[in-house]
Amino acid sequence: MTISAPVQQRGAPPAPGSPRAQLEVTAVDKIYQARRGEVHALSDVNLSIARGEFISLVGRSGCGKTTLLRILAGLLPPSSGTVTADGESIWRGGKRNDEAFQHFGLVFQDANLFPWYTVADNIALPLKLRGVGKRARRARAAELCELVGLPGFENAYPRELSGGMRQRAAIARALSYDPTILLMDEPFGALDALTRDKMNLELQSIHAQAGATVVFVTHSISEAVFLADRVVLLTPRPGRIRSVTPVPLARPRSLETETSPEFQTIVRELRHELDEE
């Protein structure tokens, strides 16, 4: 079930450097300078991600999942190696190539909504910063509220929403300018189990409709398998890709999918690998 090279569910995997690979990570290392010396966070990470693919990153705490995502998001430069999006380097000499990030969306564990803005205004904020007119912003916010399951809450304030609803608004904000790549760092980690299940179903639906490429960091192997086309398992520090596991389960997936023998086999094998670290 587990393989050592990138494989995707939809057809053949993109070969390294292939034009079909929307995101390409090549020989990426990350070394931090700490008070006690160097911290080698990532080592020789290589990964090709196809357009429209959903990738989950899993591994033990400190394995470099969030570091890798922050490099992909343009928040942290790699120490060496290259990262490209649609064939364009996103880091140039340690400096972020802002043009390459025009179609990236980011969602973190904290929704980070502005409390003095309504849901609609929070969602439309990236459009406002891009100079989009008020009428178009309001229309897009209403459309996205419908997409993420928040119709009727356009004029509500974040304090009036549950945790799950705030995360839906955060996802809608990230989708406001039609990103082709969506990076998500444990967006449901602080939610209770029932709300998390609902959000996983919601995210699956959003991914199907938006068609964006998704890289999703999680500590939950079950969540990773439920959502992903492929699950990437990182080793403990320095983080290396230990395995890439395809998830050939039919979509859309329901909560009953988690009880299927195929799902349980994938989860069990990933847990076994994790226990070997």
Strand 230-234 versus strand 241-246 pairing type:
antiparallel
Between residues 2 and 77, the one the model is more confident about = 77
Average pLDDT over residues 173-183: 91
Topology, domain 1-103+180-277:
Rossmann fold (3.40.50)
DSSP classification of residue 236: S
Average pLDDT over residues 237-265: 94
Q: Comparing 7-21, 120-134, 255-269, which segment has the lowest mean pLDDT?
A: 7-21
Average pLDDT over residues 80-88: 91
> Facing residues of 243 across strands?
233
Average pLDDT over residues 19-42: 86
pLDDT tens by residue, 115-159? 999 999 999 999 999 899 999 999 999 999 998 889 999 999 999
pLDDT beyond 50 at 4: no
CA 11/CA 134 separation, integer angstroms: 42
Q: What is the pLDDT of residue 276?
A: 76
pLDDT tens by residue, 36-75? 778 899 999 999 999 999 999 999 888 899 999 999 998 9
Q: What is the pLDDT of residue 11?
A: 39
CA atoms within 13 A on the CB side of 276: 11
Side by side, the strands of the sheet bearing 80-85 are 37-50, 21-34, 80-85, 88-89
Q: What is the pLDDT of residue 264?
A: 96
Between residues 13 and 114, the one the model is more confident about = 114
Token digits for 48? 């090709």
Average pLDDT over residues 79-99: 88
The DSSP H or E segment spanning 8 is: none
Please check whether residue 45 is in contact with residue 205, taking contact to mean a CB–CB distance below 8 angstroms: no
* Predicted confidence band of residue 113 (pLDDT cuts 50, 70, 90): very high
* Predicted confidence band of residue 198 (pLDDT cuts 50, 70, 90): confident
Q: What is the pLDDT of residue 93?
A: 77
Average pLDDT over residues 164-171: 92
* Residue extents of the structural domains in the chain: 1-103+180-277, 111-178
- Measured at the alpha carbon of residue 92, what is the angle toward residues 95 and 181, in degrees to the nearest 5? 85
The closest alpha carbon to 144, from 167, 124, 118, belongs to 124
Token digits for 99? 């043009």
Q: Comparing 109-118, 187-196, 247-256, which segment has the lowest mean pLDDT?
A: 187-196
Q: What is the pLDDT of residue 1?
A: 39
pLDDT beyond 80 at 222: yes
Q: What is the pLDDT of residue 18?
A: 53
Please check whether residue 227 is in contact with residue 56, taking contact to mean a CB–CB distance below 8 angstroms: yes
Please check whether residue 213 is in contact with residue 234, taking contact to mean a CB–CB distance below 8 angstroms: no
Angle between helices 134-147 and 193-210 (to 10 degrees): 120
Please check whether residue 216 is in contact with residue 186, taking contact to mean a CB–CB distance below 8 angstroms: no
Strand 80-85 versus strand 21-34 pairing type:
antiparallel
The closest alpha carbon to 56, from 260, 203, 209, belongs to 203
Average pLDDT over residues 182-210: 89
pLDDT tens by residue, 225-242? 999 999 999 999 899 999
CA 226/CA 47 separation, integer angstroms: 21
- b/e for 107-141, b at 16 or more Cβ within 10 A? bbbebebeeeebbbbbbbbbbeeeeeeeeebbebb
